[in-house]
C-alpha cells in the first residue's frame, strides 16, 4: 500500500525530534497525516469483502494489521487482545409491507432499517402499539416493562417507541409477551428533530431472540399508531454466529506505569460501509498522535487503544474493562493505575458541531455527570477550543461509545470529543458553525457513503490538534484529575499558557464566575 509516511506530512524536523511540548506536537500531528491513515482504511475497505471494516470481516482484520504496522514502525510494541463476540450479518435487505387497510410497501433505509442482531424470518399479522408516549417532550419508556404489554395479543407485531431502556430489553419483553415481530420507531421527543429520523440501533450481541426487529422513523411510527386495523408483513434475512476478534493496545515506552492515561477510539465500522468518519476519524487521529509522540519522555504512561466490535454494542472496550475487573478479584489491582480515559469517536463529521462530553452535566439534562475528574477534562477541551477561537457545546455521556464501560463499570474519569452523528443541525447551530440546518451532522452515519469524502477538513484538523494536546498534557500532568503532580513546564498548566489557552481548573473558575 503506497502511502506517504505520517512523519513526511509535517515539517522535516518531525521525523527526528521529540515533540515534548504542545506547540511542537500539534505542528507535527497534521491533517495530511491523519488523512493518510483514513485513506489507507478506505483502501482496505475497497479491497475487502463486503467493502466494510466491520469486526468479524476481513476489512477489520486488515485495519488491525495496518495499525500494528504503523505502531511498530514508530517504535511501539502493540498488543493484540482477542475476545469472543457474535458476528451479525444481513444477507439481504429487509422488507416491510402494509397489507391492511391499504396495501403499501415501505422503503428500506428510508422508512425502516434492520436492527443489528435481529432474528431472521417473516412476521405477518396485526400491529399493536405498546405504551406509546407521542409528542415533543415525551418521556417514552415503551416496552421497557412486561407490564407495558398488558392486553397485548399474542401473534401480533409489536409497535414500540424508542426511549428509557435498551432495544434488546424491549425486544425481549415483546417476545415474552407473544409478539411475532418488532418495530421500534424513533422517540420524537426533541424539538430539533434529532429523534425523528431513521436510526441504526443494535440489540447487542447477547440478543438470542428469534424475532425480526427493525427500526423506523418517528413519523412512520405515529402514522402506524393511528391506523385502525393495521396489518403488516415484516421480513428479515440475517445470520448470527460466534466469532473471535481483537482490540489493539499500545503503550508509550516512557512514563509511570502506575499512573496511566488511556486514549481510545473504535476501529471497526458498521456492516453497510467503510466507516471512514465512524470511526476512521478517531482511529486515525489517535494513531497519528501516537506516532508523533513516540520519542517523548513522558511523566505518565499513555496507553492507546483501538477497540473492536464497538458497533456490536461496545464489546471490545467492555471486554477490556471486565478483564481488568477479573484480574482485580484475582489479586492484580492494575485497574487502579488508570488515571483517566479519553474517547474520540467521530471527530470529522461533514456538517459538524464541536461537542465536548459533558463531564459536570452543566450543559445537558439526561445522563448526569461523569466520575470525579471528568469536569476537569471537559474544561481542558473548552480551553483548547477557546484558544482557537472556536465555539463549542456539551454533549451527554449517553453510553453510546467506548467511554461507557470505563464510567459505568469502574468509575474512571472520562472525556472526549464528538462532532455528531444522526442528530439534525438546528438553525442556531448552523448560524454558529456553518453547514446546513435541517440535515444530519453526519448525513452518511452508518451508511455506505461513509467514505473518505465524508469529512470536514476543518473539524478533523482542529480536533486532531485537540486530541494531540490533551494526550500530551495528561501524559505529563494529571494533577487536576487525581492529584499526581507532573513536572517541568507542564506543572500547573504552564505548557498550556505557552500556547495561549487556559488550564482545566482556570476554565472551571471562569465558568463559576459567570
Active site members: 310
CB 420 within 8 A of CB 194: no
CA geometry: angle 146, 148, 151, nearest 5 deg:
95
272 Cβ contact partners less than 8 Å away, ≥ 6 residues apart: 52, 446, 447, 448
Three-state SS for 352-405 is CCCEEECCCCCCCCCCCCCCCCHHHHHHHHHHHHHHCCCCCEEECCCCCCCHHH
Give me 172's grid cell.
Answer: 425481549
- In Å, the largest CA–CA distance within the chain is 74
| Residue owning grid cell 471537559 | 378
Between the alpha carbon of residue 55 and those of residues 2, 214, 243, 401, 431, the distances in Å are: 25, 21, 9, 16, 38
DSSP 8-state class, residue 107: P
Rounded distance between C-alpha atoms, residue 345 and residue 284, angstroms: 11
C-alpha cell at 66: 495496518
The gap from C-alpha 306 to its chain's centroid, in whole angstroms, comes to: 12
Distances (CA, A) of 56 to 85, 174, 240, 311: 9, 29, 11, 11
Burial (Cβ within 10 Å: 0-12, 13-18, ≥19) of residue 80: exposed
CB 156 within 8 A of CB 135: no
Q: What share of the chain is helix, strand, coil (3-state, %, to 5)?
A: 35, 20, 45
The grid cell for 497 is 499558557
**63 burial type by CB count under 10 A (0-12 exposed, 13-18 middle, 19+ buried):** buried
Report d(CA 143, CA 160) in Å as an integer.
Answer: 6
Q: Is the peptide bond before 69 cis (omega within 30 degrees of 0)?
A: no
Amino acid at each position: 500500500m503506497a502511502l506517504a509516511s505520517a512523519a513526511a506530512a509535517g515539517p522535516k524536523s518531525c521525523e527526528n525530534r521529540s515533540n515534548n511540548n504542545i506547540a511542537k506536537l500539534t505542528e507535527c500531528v497534521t491533517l495530511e497525516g491523519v488523512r493518510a491513515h483514513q485513506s489507507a482504511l478506505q483502501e482496505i475497505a475497497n479491497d475487502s469483502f463486503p467493502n466494510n471494516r466491520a469486526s468479524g470481516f476481513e476489512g477489520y482484520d486488515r485495519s488491525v494489521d495496518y495499525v500494528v504496522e504503523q505502531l511498530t514502525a514508530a517504535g511501539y510494541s502493540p498488543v493484540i487482545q482477542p475476545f469472543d463476540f457474535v458476528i451479525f450479518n444481513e444477507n439481504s435487505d429487509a422488507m416491510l409491507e402494509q397489507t391492511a387497510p391499504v396495501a403499501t410497501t415501505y422503503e428500506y433505509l428510508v422508512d425502516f432499517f434492520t436492527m443489528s442482531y435481529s432474528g431472521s424470518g417473516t412476521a405477518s399479522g396485526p400491529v399493536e402499539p405498546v405504551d406509546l408516549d407521542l409528542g415533543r417532550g415525551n418521556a417514552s419508556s415503551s416496552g421497557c416493562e412486561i407490564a407495558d404489554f398488558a392486553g397485548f395479543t399474542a401473534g401480533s407485531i409489536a409497535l414500540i417507541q424508542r426511549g428509557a431502556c435498551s432495544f434488546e430489553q424491549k425486544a425481549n419483553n415483546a417476545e415474552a409477551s407473544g409478539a411475532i415481530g418488532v418495530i421500534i420507531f424513533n422517540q420524537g421527543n426533541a424539538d430539533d428533530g434529532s429523534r425523528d429520523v431513521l436510526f441504526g440501533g443494535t440489540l447487542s450481541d447477547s440478543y438470542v431472540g428469534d424475532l425480526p426487529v427493525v427500526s423506523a422513523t418517528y413519523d412512520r411510527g405515529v402514522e402506524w399508531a393511528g391506523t385502525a386495523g393495521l396489518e403488516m408483513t415484516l421480513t428479515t434475512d440475517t445470520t448470527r454466529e460466534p466469532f473471535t476478534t481483537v482490540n489493539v493496545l499500545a503503550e508509550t515506552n516512557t512514563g509511570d506505569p502506575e499512573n496511566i492515561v488511556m486514549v481510545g477510539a473504535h476501529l471497526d465500522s458498521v456492516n453497510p460501509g467503510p466507516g471512514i468518519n465512524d470511526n476512521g476519524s478517531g482511529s486515525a487521529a489517535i494513531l497519528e498522535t501516537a506516532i508523533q509522540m513516540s520519542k517523548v519522555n513522558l511523566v505518565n504512561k499513555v496507553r492507546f487503544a483501538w477497540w473492536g466490535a464497538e458497533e456490536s454494542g461496545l464489546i471490545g472496550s467492555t471486554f477490556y474493562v471486565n478483564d481488568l475487573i477479573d484480574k482485580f478479584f484475582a489479586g492484580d489491582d492494575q485497574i487502579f493505575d488508570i488515571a483517566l480515559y479519553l474517547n474520540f469517536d467521530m471527530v470529522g463529521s461533514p456538517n459538524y458541531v464541536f461537542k465536548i462530553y459533558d463531564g459536570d452535566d452543566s450543559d445537558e439534562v439526561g445522563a448526569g455527570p461523569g466520575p470525579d475528574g471528568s469536569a476537569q477534562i471537559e474544561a481542558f477541551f473548552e480551553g483548547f477550543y477557546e484558544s482557537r477561537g472556536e465555539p463549542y457545546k456539551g454533549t451527554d455521556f449517553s453510553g453510546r461509545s467506548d467511554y461507557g464501560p470505563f464510567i459505568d463499570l469502574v468509575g474512571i474519569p472520562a472525556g472526549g470529543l464528538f462532532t455528531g452523528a444522526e442528530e439534525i443541525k438546528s438553525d442556531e447551530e448552523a448560524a454558529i458553525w456553518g453547514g446546513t440546518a435541517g440535515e444530519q451532522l453526519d448525513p452518511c452515519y452508518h451508511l455506505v457513503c461513509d467514505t473518505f469524502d465524508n469529512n470536514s477538513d476543518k473539524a478533523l484538523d482542529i480536533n486532531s490538534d485537540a486530541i494531540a494536546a490533551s494526550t500530551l498534557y495528561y501524559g505529563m500532568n494529571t494533577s487536576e484529575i487525581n492529584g499526581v503532580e507532573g513536572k517541568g513546564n507542564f506543572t500547573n498548566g504552564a505548557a498550556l499558557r505557552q500556547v495561549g489557552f487556559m488550564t482545566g481548573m482556570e476554565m472551571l473558575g471562569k465558568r463559576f464566575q459567570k
